[in-house]
Amino acid sequence: DRGRKITEREYLENSMQAKPGQEEKNKLRDVIKDLFRERDCATVVRPVSEEADLRNIQKLPYDSLRPQFRTQVEAFVKKVYESLKPKRMDGQVLSGRLFVDLATEYCKAINNSAVPTIQSAWTSVVQHQLRLSLKDAVQLYRSEMNAKAMQRLPLDASDLNEVHKAAQADAINVYTGPKFDPNSSAFKEGHVALKSKIKQLHDHVKAENKGKSMRSCEMIAKELYMREIENKLDVAGSYRNFDSLLSDWDQVRKTYLLKAKGPAREEVLSTWLFQQMVQSVQVLWTSLQSGLEADQGALQKKVSEAASRSAADRDRQAEDERKKAQKLKAAEQKWLAEKAGLERQVEEARRGAGDADRAKREITQLRETERSLRDQVSILQQSVQSAEHDAQAAQVSAHKGDSSKVTVEVQSLKMQLARLLGDVRGLGAARGELEIKAEHERQLVSLERKLQKQLMDARRTNEGMIENLRQTYEEKVDGMKEQRNEVTMRSKGYQREIERLRSEAEILRHRIASAENEHAFEKRVIDSAQKQAELVLASLEETGKAKSEFAQIHEELEALSVGRRGSPMASRKDEFRGRADFRNDGSMPYTAANAAVFGRTR
């Protein structure tokens, strides 16, 4: 301005100054100054340098614009947002929705040819907004309860209460979000309506939770009872005593408390499960009693059968021993007979061996005699030859008488020679006989050896048979002894089992007797109390009380007496429910359970 640098605001104010000769524009300038008391101006450079880009600037990306232009635009936007202030009505900040509602009320009044009143219009807007806030708050509470509670039922009471508190807090925040005057009657009425609606919805959720909890707890209880208790009760012998049954019930209770949820958990535990526990105890008592009687009969039968089998085994063992003794005696006699026969054969062989020795000696003597005879024969032959030679030589010079003498001598020598040859032949025949006899003796010796070998083999065979028979006999005797020991041990085991069952039966009888005594004592107490009540009534009648009062007192005493005459099971059950039925962890005390069990048993 005249060579002086001015700011953007100064430029705007200079433009708002009246100019001579511009009346219409001056009026417009005055209106702008009156309506916009706080005003400012922002100048920006051209966004692009090229004219072609300027014509199509709406198609260009923001990053392609000049940096100086972008900086000025961003500074302008920041200044606008920093200078804006929310519109208020009676101190209440108007949101866009409230502003639209307020404008709508103005338009309705104008369209109805009425003068719009700001206060009445604002009141209508506030009431409408409170109704919308109430509706939104209730809808939020309903949606949160559906999502966090109804979809997860059953829930424990504490968990459901936490979800309810969180949803209620969110709903109240939604209702109070517009920041209306909390002291206004409309706000208070809406707040009361919100609490009432939340209570209705909460009660509905609690009822649904209890119903689902009841169904879920009953289903869990029935499933656990069928799986852990009923299936075993249906099988005979699954429970041998009450401790195992109570142990299973304790496990059922723990599992039930872990799985069951919701407000019906304790109720189902104290009613349905308690009744099933009492019934299972009664069933087990009946089963054990019948089983005890059956076991006693079976054990007695087994003992008698074992005794009869033992007697039969003893008789059979004695018979087997007698037969084995007979077999051993027969085998021994046979072996002795064979031994005697073999000894006789050996003795005969020995005698035959002596004859063979004599035959050998005779053969030796005969051979020597034969050699001597052969020597004599050879000598005689030589003598005959020499005699013949001498005879031939003397034939020439000797007389005829001498020749005959020599001839006679020669003949005598020939006869001696023939006799010697006959003796030699006889000796040869005797030698042949002796050789035959010696061969026979050798055969006898060989036969003796064979007999001795057979005797030794037979002896070893008989000894092996006797040893096998002895071992078999001892093994059978040991087996029968083991069987007898086993039968004895079984008999002792049966006796111990009978004693144990008898002791358990005796304990149960004592318990029943104790329960009956307690029941009789309670009955005496009830009778005594009734008599005392009658005496009290009589004394009161004597004092002159009104008959109506007597009748009322009499009815109360009768009701008390009838209540006392109720079944012990009912009193036990009420006691189980009334006292501290559950520990801190929700478990059922065994004292109450046992009292209820024996009360039902009576």
Per-residue pLDDT tens over the stretch 179-203: 766 777 777 888 888 888 889 998 9
Angle, helices 400-542/547-564, rounded to nearest 10 degrees? 170
User: With bands split at pLDDT 50, 70 and 90, how would you rate the model's confidence at 541?
Assistant: low
Tens digits of per-residue pLDDT, 224-247? Answer: 888 888 888 877 777 777 788 888
Tell me, what's the pLDDT at 336? 80
Q: Is residue 89 within a helix (H) or strand (E), and if so which, with residue range?
A: strand 88-89
Q: What angle do CA 271, 275, 279 make, to 5 degrees?
A: 175
Q: Choose between 486 and 384: higher pLDDT.
A: 486
Tell me, what's the pLDDT at 393? 62
Closest alpha carbon to 439 in 352, 519, 544: 352
Q: Which of these ranges, 380-389, 488-497, 560-569, has the smallest mean pLDDT?
A: 560-569
pLDDT score of 71 more than 90 = yes
Contacts of 400 (CB under 8 A, 6+ apart): none
CA distance 277 to 248: 10
Q: Which of 30-39, 288-297, 335-344, 382-391 has the highest mean pLDDT?
A: 30-39
CA distance 280 to 234: 11
For residue 540, is it within any domain? no
pLDDT score of 546 more than 70 = no
For residue 467, is it within any domain? no
For residue 284, is it within any domain? yes
What residue numbers bound the domain in which 225 lies? 117-348
Q: Which of these ranges, 1-15, 225-239, 334-348, has the smallest mean pLDDT?
A: 334-348
Under DSSP, the state recorded for 59 is G
Mean predicted confidence (pLDDT) in 593-602: 34
User: With bands split at pLDDT 50, 70 and 90, how would you rate the model's confidence at 482?
Assistant: confident
Mean predicted confidence (pLDDT) in 93-114: 68
Tell me, what's the pLDDT at 65? 92
Tell me, what's the pLDDT at 545? 44
For residue 420, is it within any domain? no
Tell me, what's the pLDDT at 266? 84
Are 441 and 352 within 8 A, CB to CB?
yes
Mean predicted confidence (pLDDT) in 396-406: 51
Beta-strand relationship, 92-93 and 88-89? antiparallel
Mean predicted confidence (pLDDT) in 382-393: 66
Tell me, what's the pLDDT at 355? 64
CA distance 380 to 142: 169
304-330 residues labelled b (16+ CB within 10 A) or e (exposed): eebeeeeeeeeeebeeeeeebeeeeee
CA distance 335 to 190: 128
Tell me, what's the pLDDT at 390? 65
Q: Choose between 159 and 509: higher pLDDT.
A: 159
Residue indicated by tokens 């009161």: 540
Contacts of 467 (CB under 8 A, 6+ apart): none
Q: How many CB atoms lie within 10 A of CB 433?
A: 14
Tell me, what's the pLDDT at 542? 60
Tell me, what's the pLDDT at 364? 77
Tell me, what's the pLDDT at 102? 67
For residue 17, is it within any domain? no
What percentage of residues in the chain have a pLDDT greater than 70? 73
**CATH number where 248 lies:** 1.20.1000.10
Tell me, what's the pLDDT at 560? 44
Q: Which of these ranges, 131-135, 198-202, 330-334, 424-428, has the smallest mean pLDDT?
A: 424-428
Q: Choose between 416 and 147: higher pLDDT.
A: 147
CA distance 495 to 493: 5
For residue 47, is it within any domain? no
Q: Which of 403-407, 507-511, 574-578 has the highest mean pLDDT?
A: 507-511
Tell me, what's the pLDDT at 517? 81
Q: What is the mean pLDDT of the chain?
A: 75
pLDDT score of 563 more than 60 = no
pLDDT score of 600 more than 70 = no
Tell me, what's the pLDDT at 184? 74
Mean predicted confidence (pLDDT) in 65-93: 81
Q: Which of these ranges, 73-87, 114-128, 207-221, has the smallest mean pLDDT?
A: 114-128
Tell me, what's the pLDDT at 566? 42
Mean predicted confidence (pLDDT) in 508-513: 78
Domain count, the chain: 1
For residue 164, is it within any domain? yes
Mean predicted confidence (pLDDT) in 381-388: 68
Q: Choose between 436 and 395: higher pLDDT.
A: 436
Mean predicted confidence (pLDDT) in 252-281: 85
pLDDT score of 300 more than 60 = yes
Under DSSP, the state recorded for 448 is H
Structure tokens at 499: 């004693």
For residue 189, is it within any domain? yes
Q: Choose between 392 and 79: higher pLDDT.
A: 79
Q: Which of these ranges, 97-111, 191-205, 389-403, 530-544, has the smallest mean pLDDT?
A: 389-403
Mean predicted confidence (pLDDT) in 198-219: 89
Q: Which of 51-60, 335-344, 585-594 has the highest mean pLDDT?
A: 51-60
Structure tokens at 560: 């008390």
User: With bands split at pLDDT 50, 70 and 90, how would you rate the model's confidence at 95?
Assistant: low
Q: Is 154 helix (H, G, I), strand (E, B) or coil?
A: coil
pLDDT score of 342 more than 70 = yes
Closest alpha carbon to 250 in 561, 583, 493, 6: 583
Tell me, what's the pLDDT at 349? 67
Task: Tell me the DSSP string of 585-600.
Answer: TSPPPHHHHHHHHHHH
Structure tokens at 576: 């189980």
